Structure 1
Amino acid sequence: MSLPEEFDIIVCGGGSCGCVVAGRLANLDHNLKVLLIEAGESNLNNPWVFRPGIYPKNMKLDSKTASFYESRPSKWLAGRKAVVPAAHILGGGSSINFLMYTRASASDYDDFQAKGWTTEELLPLMKKHETYQRACHNKEVHGFEGPIKVSFGNYCYPIKDDFLRATESQGIPTVDDLQDLHTGHGAEHWLKWINRDTGRRSDSAHAYIHATRAVHSNLYLACNTKVDKVIIEDGRAVGVQTVPTKPLHPSQVKPRIFKARKQIVVSSGTLSSPLVLQRSGIGDPEKLKAVGVEPKVDLPGVGLNFQDHYLTFSVFRAKPETESFDDFVRGVPDVQKKVFDEWALKGTGPLATNGIEAGVKIRPTKEELEEFKTWPTPHFNDGWESYFKNKPDKPVMHYSVIAGWFGDHMLMPPGNFFTMFHFLEYPFSRGSTHIKSPDPYATPDFDTGFMNDERDMAPMVWGYIKSRETARRMDAYAGEVQNMHPFFDYDSPARAHDMDLETTKRYALPGNLSAGLQHGSWSVFLPEADRKPGADILNSNQAHIREDLKYSKKDIEAVEEWVKRHVESTWHSLGTCSMAPREGNSIVKHGVLDERLNVHGVKGLKVADLSICPDNVGCNTYSTALLIGEKAAMLVAEDLGYSGDALQMKVPDYHAPGETRLPFRV
């Protein structure tokens, strides 16, 4: 369908947030013409999107559904360049993320220091987007009529109970709802962004865009179209210039301009929204002149304050009888056929989950904080006193168990595995991004800032140690995959113990687990002749490790070095168009947006995506992106003069063509 030249509202970016904005506003008034522009392809009924268990495919470097931003080399990462992925498909991260349902802490939004953005004010919008498909004892904080579905998925790997038993033994309480906005320390059975009735991923494009376009004609969609810049005339945003996403030849680069009568919303994501503004002449005037862009609005904060959550993986051997998705990922034909067939028939089975069944949010004890002071990089405690101590709803670290290894099995030994992934919820480090030319296809000057604040090191080390102790207490545990752990000295009690598959089969059996050694390690993983005298062999159903591993200063240095060499993005980027006064506040030095998401100094232009967050949020960020989308839609509607019932902006339900599957019930 050929697109008109002029619209009432243009939304630049069809990610998790942009889809909410465009879908809600198209349903605000069906006489409004709304255009949604997306650089990636459409995700409409794409089976590689809506089948939940397929998500690892989208993380590969040859993925067509993600873009990969490469940073400068960093001394904080042992000289490495960080690579930060961003979604490149309609629906954004909601189409390809890990599907983990987590929500921010109440103090997170209060800390934004923006009028209208307290958690109490935002709670109705949090409830507005979700349908909570499980038994609920906190109905005042969850929604039950929204377009986005939340459930446990339609399958659960048994390792969930193993993990929760182990965390309980560490003193981490299992709670019914870790996403109640207030609990900052606990473990839970993890919920997912999956529709319980169909087994499908619940992404924002199907929920807000495809559902609307199926019944209304006022929402226009331009996929495979890249936003170059916003056109500003006399201080007002009046249009958007676009180019093809990936032209085969320079002669194919034919810019097109779409005019906006009422409002332009930039929702291109944390890594692209600041670049769109900078190419439009909005940013630091000196930097813009240096790269050949005429400055129009002096906003030096554009592209600053980049934040993420810092992630590491550690992989463990699992006993042969442990159920995992490893054979499916390896491509075992019989296993794959069985899994695909079950999902196609009933919407259940391993494809109806992400394999991430349980996890924790944790805060350190007084004893652990004292221990941090003795470590080689001891500075976290200053941050604890200023940021965490008086906000008990803020977790410091998150870690979860994954029922297998979803990376490249060509790099792994044979056998079954389970993975711990750990990320820092509120890093103190900050980065930046800036264009190097007006060329919309050029890569930016990008510095992730990962780990450039030494206060971030101790909790990353602690997260590895804590999750490793959980793993050692699990029935599934059969040693570590050594190259996925720090390189400790050979004679260190903390050394990772790897085994070949035959040794695993030989020793990792019920009644053949070892504990109670003077070093706290498992002698069963040592050759018979090297075992310590008096090693205590315990039944796996009775006990596990009696004491934690002891880490020397040299061991902690090894973990720190491992963090530097392995830490990576959690795909949770935010902050580069921060909502704060132009001159900044106690959170950021320079703000970009006011509390109504208007770009300072420009009329008719808002930004709505995770880049608006001045400070971090302790969650997997899809929930925050949905919230920002709902808030932005309300703000635009109010600016246009709508009020009362119109602001409810209900979207139609989405039904896949030919969907005849009976609803699944628990």
Structure 2
Amino acid sequence: MSQVYADFDIVFVGGEFDSTHRQVLMSSASQPSYRRDHRFLLACVTAGRLAKANPELHILLVEQGPNNYQEPNVVTPALFLSHQAPGSKTTIFWKGNKSDALNGRSPIVSTGRILGGGSRYTRPSASDFDDWKTEGWRSNDMIPLLRKMETYHLAPGRETHGYEGPLNVSYSDKENFPAVAQAYLEVAQKRGVPLVQDKQDLNTGHGCQRWAKWIDPATGVRQDAAHRYIHPLCNNKRLQVMTATKVVRVLFEGTKATGIEVVADKDTEEDANQTPYIINARKLVVVSAGALGSPVVLQRSGVGEAERLKKLGIQVVSDLPVGSTYEDHNLVLTPYHVPDDTETIDPIMYQDAAFLEEAQAQFAQGKGALATNWIDAGSKLRPTPKELEEIGPAFAPVWKSYFESKPDKPVMLQALSEGWLGPRDILPYKEAHMIIIGNYTGYARHVYITSTDPYTAPDFETGFLDKQADVDVQIWAYKQAREIARRLPQYRGEFAPLHPKFPEDSAARCVKLDGPPDVDNVKDIVYTPEDNKAIEAYLRQFIETTWHSVGTVLMKPREQGGCVDARLNVYGTQNLKVADLSIIPGNVGANTNSTALVTGEKAAVIIAEDLGLKLD
């Protein structure tokens, strides 16, 4: 029998906002860990704003993972990849269904179990917001909130940027701009990609620039929502967090949400006590468990497609298409050899003791190799008319309907990462000098529960490369990235195991150089139909997630397949809202961290209005 644990005004379920490289710190608990200590204050933008507006509000955030306060792997930008290693205990790995489009592979989409977010500063286009066609959520509504949340250190007086917000945006250590990143920008310009002053102004859809980051330029510390919105409120004892806890379902009286049922998280501790606990919510339950977590919590609660729920013996509270519209971006990493003297993240990844000792000393001053994520340059790309013809007819209607009349929308994002990001057992340290150029686009499918057991994996269909248009645009993107790489002075050839297997007599076959290329005389590779087939086969073997899951609990009119209204209320219920990236009705042409943060700011505004509160 469930025990009543406590009563609160507002209960947040999950507490996370989806983002690039979310990070988790696990704890041990045999029962739900109920903490008042500030070290366990894990929360999101929304809860922080509300708690600051009314310190008397009794707010609880329920979180699977524990405290991230001042944890080195969270606050140190260069350590982000430690959370993505296979078998990592700081990450949830969602296994997708096997797909013929991926050569029978089961794609893996990883998410974290903590508040915070990533270090990649990439904002959506204005038209991304406008395409949602939702009152109160258009670009003119969201830009003031984007400004509110940031302190922009790159240049003064930019109209779409803020200068007094909690999250710092900078280049971190200004002087630490690797030569290969500088060369990337020079080559991109020669390839027709203009160098722009502000790639994140919400209007630029084609251009290259040095990559800004969520990093405090004074300290070199990574900026995340927990440290910037919640930990400063550690003296507010009415803002609390329950850690190492899994939410089973939202509880209802009729259609009114009254609280949640939770158990200790077995993924944190295998023998955790599974006695369920009830937490009552006097005013509001806010489901904020992410684009994969929120739909499965709602479905277990009776909010979802009625026929699916009935088959599982779940009483239907509201018949809604929850989980039927999953979207993501996808990533292909193409590595290239570079000489030994190239500045890369490799000494950190390979745990070079002497290098790390010096880097730690520099990081104490807010500088050096640990004060960056080693992703220092990138581009937003739109194809030329000639390239559109080369991409092929399958992509033409997508271009016509989605991109052609909206020049602020990139078709592809490209990033340069200085260093080998793959498993260390593939290459020994001295051979691991790589640059990675990644590209991504978007896909859509579904996530449905298959059991009332919260530990049972869902039916998760990613849709990666199901459509030929997606394949064709990725083929174009591979070629674009490779032509830039071949013109870098540091280029020494492709790392063949992670490139297409071209025919031996193909002009596109991988090479290994002993010295720098003659960059002024490099000619574009002419790809044959057989080469294109090789690239397609490569994509189907290696395409993966970019950790940008969205859109599973859509904010749309109910008659158009929506699950929540413009004020985040779940249709057919009372006192229940959803506030995370599951609500956005269409992915954005960017990494999703900025969109997640501004969604949190908007949710705070909405809830404050509902409660009659005034935000700062």
> What is residue 393 of structure 1 aligned with on the other side?
408
1:595 aligns with 2:566: yes
Change (3 A) 1:40 1:251: closer
Counterparts of 1:169 and 1:633, CA distance in 2: 45
Counterparts of 2:360 and 2:482, CA distance in 1: 33
TM-score, with normalisation over the residues of structure 1?
Answer: 0.86
Residue in structure 2 matching 1:184, options 181, 202, 205: 205
> What is residue 353 of structure 1 aligned with on the other side?
372
For residues 352-408 of structure 1, what are the alpha-carbon distances to aligned partners after superposition, in whole Å with 9 as ceiling and x for unaligned? 0010000000000000011122xxxx4011211111111110000011111111222
Q: Which has the larger radius of gyration?
A: 1
> What is residue 552 of structure 2 aligned with on the other side?
576
For residues 526-580 of structure 1, what are the alpha-carbon distances to aligned partners after superposition, in whole Å with 9 as ceiling and x for unaligned? xxxxxxxxxxxxxx6xx251x2111001101111111111100000000000101
Instruction: Report the more deviating stretch, 129-138 or 62-71.
Output: 129-138
1:316 aligns with 2:333: no
Counterparts of 2:355 and 2:399, CA distance in 1: 47
Counterparts of 1:7 and 1:58, CA distance in 2: 32
Residue in structure 1 matching 2:244, options 216, 224, 233: 224
The answer to whether the 8 Å contact 2:17/2:581 transfers is: no
Structure 1 stretches of 4+ with a deviation exceeding 6 A read none
Q: Between the two proteins, what is the percent identity of the paired residues?
A: 42
Counterparts of 2:323 and 2:125, CA distance in 1: 25
1:551 aligns with 2:527: yes
For the residue of structure 1 that corresponds to 2:492, the secondary structure is: strand
Cα displacement (A) at 1:416: 4.8
> What is residue 457 of structure 1 aligned with on the other side?
471
Cα displacement (A) at 1:412: 2.1
> What is residue 501 of structure 1 aligned with on the other side?
none
1:380 aligns with 2:378: no
For residues 262-290 of structure 1, what are the alpha-carbon distances to aligned partners after superposition, in whole Å with 9 as ceiling and x for unaligned? 11110000011000000000111110111
Counterparts of 1:242 and 1:617, CA distance in 2: 33
Instruction: Report the more deviating stretch, 414-423 or 232-241.
Output: 414-423
Change (3 A) 1:552 1:249: closer
Counterparts of 1:273 and 1:647, CA distance in 2: 26
For residues 577-633 of structure 1, what are the alpha-carbon distances to aligned partners after superposition, in whole Å with 9 as ceiling and x for unaligned? 01011121xxxxx11110111000111110010100111101110100001100001
The answer to whether the 8 Å contact 2:264/2:274 transfers is: yes
Counterparts of 2:297 and 2:255, CA distance in 1: 17
The answer to whether the 8 Å contact 2:17/2:290 transfers is: no
For residues 292-324 of structure 1, what are the alpha-carbon distances to aligned partners after superposition, in whole Å with 9 as ceiling and x for unaligned? 21212111x100110111100000010232221
Query: Unpaired segments of 5 or more residues in structure 2?
Result: 19-42
For residues 224-273 of structure 1, what are the alpha-carbon distances to aligned partners after superposition, in whole Å with 9 as ceiling and x for unaligned? 11111110112111101111112756771011111111111100000110
Counterparts of 2:432 and 2:467, CA distance in 1: 37
> What is residue 520 of structure 1 aligned with on the other side?
none
1:491 aligns with 2:505: yes
The answer to whether the 8 Å contact 2:439/2:478 transfers is: no
Change (3 A) 1:250 1:357: closer
Counterparts of 1:544 and 1:148, CA distance in 2: 44
The answer to whether the 8 Å contact 1:8/1:260 transfers is: yes
Counterparts of 1:77 and 1:637, CA distance in 2: 45
Counterparts of 1:42 and 1:117, CA distance in 2: 32
> What is residue 13 of structure 1 aligned with on the other side?
14
The answer to whether the 8 Å contact 1:52/1:352 transfers is: yes
The answer to whether the 8 Å contact 2:50/2:615 transfers is: no
1:437 aligns with 2:451: yes
1:111 aligns with 2:150: no
Residue in structure 2 matching 1:469, options 476, 483, 489: 483
Residue in structure 1 matching 2:228, options 204, 207, 219: 207
Q: How many residues align?
A: 585
> What is residue 606 of structure 2 aligned with on the other side?
635
> What is residue 55 of structure 1 aligned with on the other side?
80
Write out aligned runs for 1:292-303 (5 A). Answer: 292-299=313-320, 301-303=321-323
> What is residue 421 of structure 1 aligned with on the other side?
437
The answer to whether the 8 Å contact 1:292/1:437 transfers is: no
> What is residue 240 of structure 1 aligned with on the other side?
260
Please tell me the residue identity of whatever aligns with 1:202.
Q
Change (3 A) 1:251 1:225: closer
Counterparts of 1:137 and 1:174, CA distance in 2: 20
For the residue of structure 2 that corresponds to 1:593, the secondary structure is: coil
Please tell me the residue identity of whatever aligns with 1:456.
D
Counterparts of 2:156 and 2:542, CA distance in 1: 38
Counterparts of 2:208 and 2:554, CA distance in 1: 32
TM-score, with normalisation over the residues of structure 2?
Answer: 0.92
> What is residue 417 of structure 2 aligned with on the other side?
402
For residues 33-64 of structure 1, what are the alpha-carbon distances to aligned partners after superposition, in whole Å with 9 as ceiling and x for unaligned? 11111111210111111011001101012222
Residue in structure 2 matching 1:611, options 582, 587, 601: 582
> What is residue 623 of structure 1 aligned with on the other side?
594
